[in-house]
Structure 1
Amino acid sequence: MSSTDPSTGGPLTDDGLVQLLTPEGERVSHPDYDARVAHLTADDLRGMYRDMVLVRRFDTESTSLQRQGELALFAQALGQEAAQIGSGRALAAQDHVFPSYREHGVAHTRGVDLTEVLRLFRGVDHGGWDPVANGFHLYTLVIGSHALHATGYAMGVQRDGRVGTGDPQRDTAVAVYFGDGATSQGDVSEALVFAAVNNAPLVFFCQNNQWAISEPTTRQTRVPLSHRGTGFGIPSVRVDGNDVLASYAVTAEALERARSGGGPTFIEAFTYRMGAHTTSDDPTRYRSAAEEEYWRRRDPIDRLAAHLRATGELSPEFEAQVSAEADALGERIRTAVRSMGRPEAVSMFEHVYATSHPTVDAERAWFEAYESSFLDSASEGSHR
């Protein structure tokens, strides 16, 4: 089965996808979701375009920095900008997000300085932003584990009386982002159980980019991934993840349901990872150039740009302004990363646990003795 030839009813089918913008940028009507975007102005759409362009520039600059040896690793969100910016812009200030490690667009919408994201990929620390201030948790590299963290947080919000009060400044939703590969992890299934039976105010946002590293979605399921939510009794929806308007609309609905006490929702954003899984991956070994070209023609930024041009809302002056802003961001990223320095190797033992842990303490002591042995040898003139 190929993503360029989706089979009806299978995991790569186009059937049932919520779409408001076609790949050519034409606005199409949807009876259930038109009202969700009716309030969006041309300025709002230009803001979404700007966000996606800036996040893509962040991706390309970060990838280049990794190739230059300035970052240990980087995970691109290339091609997934619409799913992230659309859903991220639907969040309220009091909502809280649990990301995996590819949610750079969502981080941007939550006010996280993207240069701080790179502290993790440079190995400086575990994350350079305040999760409480931004309503955006630190990145999680363990696949699927944060779905449980998000569920627990959502249950806590519920028990704190911050759901279903009718106060739009108080009612809170939680969102957790993960990929298609994470749906095969037990942690996600357990999270779905707890969220469903506790009616937790949680949105499960699955970015189905069709590749769990080199494992295709067709090796993970025989039906659309949204069915997994339905199987746990959770309302579920499939959305065209390359359509920023549709991604905004379905997420806005799900968040409203969560805040009002209606419980969890499972969203499958059907998109495509245009880049590699990470900078240590070579996607040419497991997917074809034809497949990549098929999805390149469905680029989420090009789609919104085509719509804005067709409606006379994307002037050359605005495009030039955004391009200049992207250039400035690229320069700031390069400068910020190179000024971060390199942490002492022993710092890896810090912040593993909130309090002292005997195993970690012992490992740190061994490592310090090991490193000092080289210094001792050097002072004795040894070349070993």
Structure 2
Amino acid sequence: MSTPQDWTPPTSTDSHPGHDHVVAGLKGTDEGGADLVQLLTPEGERVPDPRFDAYAADVDVEMLKNLYRDLVLVRRFDREGNALQRQGQLGIWVPLLGQEAAQIGAGRAMAPQDMAFPSYREHGVAWTRGVDPTDLLGIFRGTDHGSWDPKAAGFHLYTIVIGNQCLNATGYAMGQKFEGRVGGDDGEATICFFGDGATSQGDVHEGFVWAAVYDAPVVFYCQNNQWAISEPTERQTRVPLYKRAQGYGFDGIRVDGNDVIACLAVTRWALEECRTGNGPVLVEAFTYRMDAHTTSDDPTRYRLADELELWKLKDPIERVRVHLVRSLGVEPEFFDGVQAEADALAARFRQHCVDMPAPAPDRMFSQVYAEGSPAVDAQREAFLAYHASFEGV
């Protein structure tokens, strides 16, 4: 198997016509650059970082076991979602394979009072916010827009329009500031999740501008998985994405998105900055999309198999497992128990998909505004009356 040290870049792109980016070498051979924050290497070695060690000081063996459990369970139900789509039970599925650490680390860094605005791939963040995985199924089965309460979970509904959630997140964060909910240990912050492809969208830049001008307490968390569907990152930007923050006047940082400890520590720092009035912050989680963009995509048409093999060496789950075994002496029984729990979760996930009931027809009128609206209430009543007119037909 190739490694970053011994792999020789191809001299032509005959096997993938038009994809001249491969001439420069496989994506990820630079390991993310010298500025990458990393606390756990791909080989499972814990490395010190003077700036961020304090933000991971509580990551003892028990906490790391819990993080490992998160990673495994999220990957397991994600794989089940993929299988359900292939079997015709879901219209589409958006896999997160390879991005588990970027999401679990960031999600576990959040405080209960914080608010997250996801795109459509943040199944791992949803898990950390207490959203049952089965509540995600309706989106991809076409029955609803998500069956959780965003306010209770601190996790907004999925946003399908690329980058649009950055405007929503910025507006919400501005509200947190204007209402005096920022400052101190119990202060609030917002975190917005998006991918590298979204950074080419106007909504993202508008969100950056407004957040910077109003010092909004929002963490912009970019999961750079190297591909915007079939478009490589180097065709979207001439500089590392985290450096774009400089142009807006706020801090940016790049973290190893396959290192759950580093993602936890860096996101804790970023949220603390925002919570204490020093936001916004841009975090670039340097990771890799190990599967297709969605189940309607075929990544073999635009990326090389060697690239995927290279990133398998950096698997976010395996490095935690190796560290738990070699450095912390965790016994096999723990891993067997986690796998059994993951299999049970997958079975429940599948059964819920098959048995999923249709939602109440007027549920679309819920969660429209923070408070009740006479106009929406009137629309709900008119809709219910119209719906009832078909009874018995």
- Are residues 1:142 and 2:164 paired? no
Counterpart for residue 294 of structure 1: 310
Which SS does the other structure have where 2:220 is aligned? strand
For the 8 Å contact 1:13–1:224, the answer to whether it is kept is no
- 1:293 offset after TM fit, Å? 0.5
In structure 2, what residue type is equivalent to 1:56? R
For the 8 Å contact 1:42–1:313, the answer to whether it is kept is no
The change in CA–CA distance for 1:5 and 1:329 in structure 2 (over 3 A counts) is: closer
Counterpart for residue 338 of structure 1: 354
Q: Aligned partners of 1:356, 1:207: CA distance in 2, in Å? A: 36
- Number of residue pairs the alignment of both structures matches: 365
In structure 2, what residue type is equivalent to 1:4? L
- 1:356 offset after TM fit, Å? 6.5
- Are residues 1:264 and 2:302 paired? no
Counterpart for residue 170 of structure 2: 151
Q: Aligned partners of 1:137, 1:6: CA distance in 2, in Å? A: 31
Q: CA RMSD in A?
A: 2.9
- Are residues 1:282 and 2:301 paired? no
For the 8 Å contact 1:203–1:265, the answer to whether it is kept is yes
1:315 aligned residue (327, 331, 339):
331
Instruction: Map residues 1-384 of structure 1 onto 2, 5 A cutoff.
Output: 1-2=21-22, 4=26, 13-164=32-183, 166=184, 168-169=185-186, 171-341=187-357, 350-351=364-365, 355=375
- 1:314 offset after TM fit, Å? 2.6
Q: Aligned partners of 1:220, 1:59: CA distance in 2, in Å? A: 28
Q: Aligned partners of 1:348, 1:218: CA distance in 2, in Å? A: 45
Q: Aligned partners of 1:90, 1:356: CA distance in 2, in Å? A: 36
Deviations 1:111-157 (A, max 9, x none): 00011011111111111100011000000000000100000000000
For the 8 Å contact 2:76–2:346, the answer to whether it is kept is yes
The change in CA–CA distance for 1:140 and 1:348 in structure 2 (over 3 A counts) is: farther
Q: Aligned partners of 1:313, 1:38: CA distance in 2, in Å? A: 19
- 1:313 offset after TM fit, Å? 3.9
In structure 2, what residue type is equivalent to 1:236? G
Unaligned stretches of 5+ residues in structure 1: 358-370, 377-384
In structure 1, what residue type is equivalent to 2:296? S
For the 8 Å contact 2:255–2:262, the answer to whether it is kept is yes
- 1:223 offset after TM fit, Å? 1.1
- % of aligned pairs identical? 58
**Runs in 1 of length 4+ with deviation above 3 angstroms?**
5-8, 341-344, 347-357
For the 8 Å contact 1:206–1:269, the answer to whether it is kept is yes
Deviations 1:259-286 (A, max 9, x none): 1111110000000000100000000000
Deviations 1:191-240 (A, max 9, x none): 00000010010000000001111111011011101111121111000001
Q: Aligned partners of 2:329, 2:122: CA distance in 1, in Å? A: 28
TM-score under structure 1 length normalisation: 0.88
The change in CA–CA distance for 1:341 and 1:349 in structure 2 (over 3 A counts) is: closer
The change in CA–CA distance for 1:7 and 1:119 in structure 2 (over 3 A counts) is: closer
Counterpart for residue 381 of structure 1: none
TM-score under structure 2 length normalisation: 0.86
Q: Aligned partners of 1:17, 1:289: CA distance in 2, in Å? A: 25
In structure 2, what residue type is equivalent to 1:326? A
Unaligned stretches of 5+ residues in structure 2: 1-20, 370-374, 378-389
- 1:67 offset after TM fit, Å? 0.7
In structure 1, what residue type is equivalent to 2:131? V
Which SS does the other structure have where 1:309 is aligned? helix
For the 8 Å contact 2:32–2:256, the answer to whether it is kept is no
- 1:7 offset after TM fit, Å? 7.9
For the 8 Å contact 2:27–2:307, the answer to whether it is kept is no
Q: Aligned partners of 2:152, 2:74: CA distance in 1, in Å? A: 21
In structure 2, what residue type is equivalent to 1:123? G
- 1:4 offset after TM fit, Å? 2.5
Q: Aligned partners of 1:295, 1:92: CA distance in 2, in Å? A: 31
For the 8 Å contact 1:234–1:265, the answer to whether it is kept is yes
For the 8 Å contact 2:136–2:146, the answer to whether it is kept is yes
In structure 2, what residue type is equivalent to 1:327? D
For the 8 Å contact 2:365–2:376, the answer to whether it is kept is no
